[in-house]
């Protein structure tokens, strides 16, 4: 997964850089290269320049066209180039060296005349190779191609980073950065691999950053490795005596028989929270809401959840809680949504070869102080 992400980002960055190069100097990069690689591209014209001068090009150009010419001088010195606009006014007058690259873009439509003249009596032989890049709607074709490349690459980059893309959907492993600190967010998601990714990433990334984690769940299997790797920063309250056996011996482990006794659950949670220092950078994941709503009435569940969230946020925790809408009646979920600062749901998104699940905000949380 990480390799694919890096590969996708690398190809996206390359595409964007190519698009920028085409927008800025596309014709100036492509036309000379094409003329060098292919003798059939461009108009080749040998000239014999005397002091009186020679017109080597009289070309009808549209505003936005681009005339690119490679001029190679053999023989005399002091060759001068002069460009006249459709009204006969001189636009450019300069002296050339032995080799000169002319890159000219007219500002208005008409016939442009380019003269070459020699300041010496020695005849100079000049070989020119010229190509005209015609504009589309006043823009170089390469500018349009470059813009298309950038616009096509941006959605890929946004999807790779977990933002935008897919009509505002967020990759589960990138959701953590969408949750503001010290806020409580509810996620409605079914039992699926994507939800497991959401939980393990939320907990694992926080621990890697040195934060403490408060974990309240009936499921101990998903965090066994994290609990063993970060024993000093992982605080687990498992509401199942049998499931908690896998974490037995962990220094910050508390066990509750289940969700039937909410008062006892509260007391055990308070005991565990007391071990966490006030002001510590901490996150919490609450994964028992579906069971609480199935076991208790909505008013009782609301009362318990209100007190629990107050305790967690009072300790300065950033809270993520999960509920399974496929398991809990809709009125149960609706009865607790307003207690959270934000609400997100996991939805299926049809892709080319499979169906993926992504998160989408129903109500975004507002960061503290705003």
The pLDDT value given to residue 4: 45
Which residues, 6+ apart, have CB-to-CB distance to 232 below 8 Å?
251, 252
pLDDT at 1 over 50: no
The pLDDT value given to residue 166: 53
Enumerate the domain spans of the chain: 37-139, 168-363
pTM of the complete model: 0.58
pLDDT at 253 over 50: yes
- In tens, the pLDDT along 158-197 reads 655 555 445 578 889 989 988 999 999 999 999 999 999 9
DSSP-derived letter for residue 97 is -
Which residues, 6+ apart, have CB-to-CB distance to 58 below 8 Å?
111, 112, 113, 114
Proportion of the chain above pLDDT 70, given as a percent: 91
Into which CATH architecture does domain 37-139 fall? Sandwich (2.60)
Whether residue 176 contacts residue 205, with contact meaning beta carbons closer than 8 Å, is answered with: yes
The pLDDT value given to residue 3: 47
How far apart CA 173 and CA 319 sit, in angstroms, is 16
Mean pLDDT, residues 102-127 taken together: 84
The pLDDT value given to residue 334: 94
CATH homologous superfamily, domain 168-363: P-loop containing nucleotide triphosphate hydrolases (3.40.50.300)
Which residues, 6+ apart, have CB-to-CB distance to 56 below 8 Å?
45, 47, 114, 115, 116, 126, 128
Mean pLDDT, residues 68-81 taken together: 81
Whether residue 154 contacts residue 147, with contact meaning beta carbons closer than 8 Å, is answered with: no
- In tens, the pLDDT along 291-345 reads 999 999 999 999 999 999 999 998 889 999 999 999 999 999 999 999 999 999 9
């Amino acid at each position: 997964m990480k390799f694919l992400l890096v590969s996708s980002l690398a190809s996206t960055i390359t595409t964007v850089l190519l698009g920028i190069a085409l927008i800025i100097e596309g014709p100036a990069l492509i036309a000379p290269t094409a003329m060098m690689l292919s003798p059939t591209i461009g108009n080749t014209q040998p000239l014999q320049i005397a002091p009186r001068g020679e017109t080597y090009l009289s070309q009808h150009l549209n505003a936005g066209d681009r005339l690119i010419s490679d001029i190679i001088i053999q023989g005399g010195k002091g060759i001068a180039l002069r460009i006249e606009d459709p009204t006969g006014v001189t636009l450019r007058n300069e002296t050339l060296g032995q080799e000169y690259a002319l890159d000219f873009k007219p500002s208005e439509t008409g016939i442009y005349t380019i003269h070459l003249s020699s300041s010496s009596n020695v005849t100079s032989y000049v070989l020119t190779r010229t190509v005209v890049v015609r504009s589309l709607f006043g823009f170089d074709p390469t500018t349009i191609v470059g813009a298309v490349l950038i616009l096509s690459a941006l959605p890929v980059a946004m999807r790779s980073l977990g933002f935008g893309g897919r009509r505002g959907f967020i990759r589960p492993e990138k959701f953590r950065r969408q949750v503001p600190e010290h806020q409580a967010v509810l996620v409605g998601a079914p039992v699926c691999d994507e939800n497991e990714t959401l939980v393990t990433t939320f907990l694992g990334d926080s621990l890697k950053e040195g934060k403490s984690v408060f974990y309240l769940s009936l499921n101990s299997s998903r965090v066994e490795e994290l609990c063993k790797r970060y024993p000093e920063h992982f605080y687990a309250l498992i509401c199942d005596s049998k499931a908690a056996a896998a974490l037995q011996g962990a220094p910050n482990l508390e066990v509750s028989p289940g969700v039937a006794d909410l008062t006892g659950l509260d007391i055990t949670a308070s005991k565990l929270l007391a071990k966490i220092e006030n002001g510590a950078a901490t996150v919490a994941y609450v994964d028992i809401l579906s069971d609480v709503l199935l076991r208790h009435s909505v008013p009782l569940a609301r009362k318990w959840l209100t007190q629990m969230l107050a305790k967690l946020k009072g300790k300065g925790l950033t809270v993520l809680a999960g509920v399974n809408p496929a398991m809990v009646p809709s009125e149960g979920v609706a009865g607790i949504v307003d207690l959270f600062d934000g609400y997100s749901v996991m939805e299926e998104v049809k892709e080319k070869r499979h169906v993926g699940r992504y998160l989408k905000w129903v109500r975004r949380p507002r960061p503290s102080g705003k």
